[in-house]
Every structure is written in structure tokens, then in C-alpha cells.
Amino acid sequence: MDQIVKIITEKTGISDAHAATAVKVVADYLKEKLPAGMGDQVDGLLKGDTSNLGDMAGGLKDKLGGMFGN
């Protein structure tokens, strides 16, 4: 999460505290809207763990494909 906060702070000029709040709000929103079980992967990404990124992408593809009849 620190990397994302730093990027937001550098690009927008807002404080670290405000950037951290923004990241938390977006992460909470994503965890609420993503299919069950994906929230933990969002938390992992925010901690810098990209090892499950492929699994997350594949899971989303499967879930979204089912929604559109693919």
C-alpha cells in the first residue's frame, strides 16, 4: 500500500494521510464488489504480493465470462 500511497501523493500533491484514506476507500469498494474470495487477493496486492495476480485475473475472467454467456 505504501507504494500506491507514494504514487498518489507524487501525482496529486495530496498528503500521505489523504492518499492512504483514498486507497483504503477504493480497496474496500473493490472488495465489496468483487466475487467472494477475491478480497483477500486485493489485500495481498496492497501489501505488494503479486504472486496470485494470475489467479485473480483468471478468476475474474471466469466470473465475468459467465455473466456474459462466454
> In sequence order, what DSSP letters do the residues of 4-70 get, joined into one string?
HHHHHHHHH---HHHHHHHHHHHHHHHHHHSPTT-HHHHHHHHTT--TTHHHHHHHHHHHHHHHTT-
pTM of the model: 0.64
Give per-residue pLDDT as tens, 11-46.
999 999 999 999 999 999 988 888 877 888 888 888
